[in-house]
């Protein structure tokens, strides 16, 4: 780590928020307003997985509701009470709760902050090449290739 002069430990909130706020094409990127991510894993030069500290203002969402073909995902709630939305319905989460989403389940998930208070959580996902993402509620799909997300309409035409 010292090769990069990265500190041994940091306060997570001191890591700068990532920009742009969303990689989605419009009109979806604008729907991510009120969401702020700090890429903690990238800060330390990790490559195999990402760890984000994510803040959701009231009414903000974590992502479009989605499911990964190859990436496992995991969330841990630090503060606030977001609603977890999945194919099976809605579940209120609270601080100290966690949830995991194995790749290939097809169960599309996201979080929405329907409360008047901020939500702060950790989200973890690996970076398995060839990962595909489906979004059952929106006309978009994604493929991870050469380390980059490529977004298209569901008929395959590019954004």
> Least distance in Å: CB of 123 to a second copy?
11
Q: Taking the complex as a whole, how short is the minimal distance between the CB of residue 3 and a second copy, in angstroms?
A: 8
CA-CA distance, 152 to 145, in Å (whole number)?
Answer: 13
CB contact burial 48-82 (16+ within 10 A = b; e otherwise) = eebbbbbbbeeebbbbbbbbbbebbbbbbbeebeb
Q: Given candidates 12, 81, 134, 143, which one binds a second copy under the rule CB under 8 A? A: 12
Which listed range, 16-24, 28-36, 43-51, 146-154, lies at the site for a second copy (CB under 8 A)?
43-51
Binding-residue total with a second copy (CB under 8 A) = 43
**Residue from 49, 60, 68 nearest 111 by CA:** 60
Please pick, from the candidates 24, 35, 36, 43, the single residue that binds a second copy as defined by CB under 8 A.
Answer: 43
Of 26, 88, 146, 155, which lies in the binding site for a second copy, with binding defined by CB under 8 A? 88
Nearest to a second copy of 137, 139 (CB atom): 137
The answer to whether residues 38 and 69 touch, using CB atoms and an 8 Å cutoff, is no
Q: Binder to a second copy among 107, 117, 136, 154 (CB under 8 A)? A: 107
Q: In angstroms, what is the minimal distance from the CB of 137 to a second copy? A: 18
Half-sphere exposure at residue 47, Cβ-oriented, CA atoms within 13 angstroms: 2
Q: Looking at 103, 110, 141, 152, which residue binds a second copy (CB under 8 A)? A: 103
CA dihedral 130, 134, 135, 138 (to 10 degrees): 90
Instruction: Tally the C-alpha atoms within 13 A of residue 48's C-alpha that lie toward its C-beta.
Output: 0
110 alpha carbon, distance to own chain's centre: 8
Binding site for a second copy (CB under 8 A): 1-3, 6, 8-13, 40-41, 43-49, 51, 71-72, 74, 76, 84, 86, 88, 91, 93, 96-103, 105, 107, 122, 124, 126, 128
């Amino acid at each position: 780590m010292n090769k990069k002069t990265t500190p041994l430990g940091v306060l997570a909130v001191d890591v700068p928020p990532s920009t742009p706020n969303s990689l989605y094409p419009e009109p979806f990127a604008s729907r991510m307003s009120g969401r702020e991510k700090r890429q903690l894993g990238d800060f330390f030069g990790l490559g195999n997985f990402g760890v984000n500290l994510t803040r959701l203002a009231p009414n903000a969402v974590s992502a479009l509701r989605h499911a990964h073909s190859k990436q496992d995902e995991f969330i841990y709630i630090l503060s606030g009470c977001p609603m977890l939305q999945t194919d099976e319905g809605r579940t209120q989460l609270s601080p100290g709760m966690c949830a995991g989403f194995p790749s290939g389940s097809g169960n599309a998930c996201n979080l929405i902050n329907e409360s008047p208070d901020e939500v702060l959580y950790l989200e973890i996902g690996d970076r398995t090449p060839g990962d595909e993402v489906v979004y059952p509620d929106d006309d978009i799909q994604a493929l991870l290739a050469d380390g980059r997300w490529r977004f298209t309409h569901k008929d395959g035409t590019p954004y």
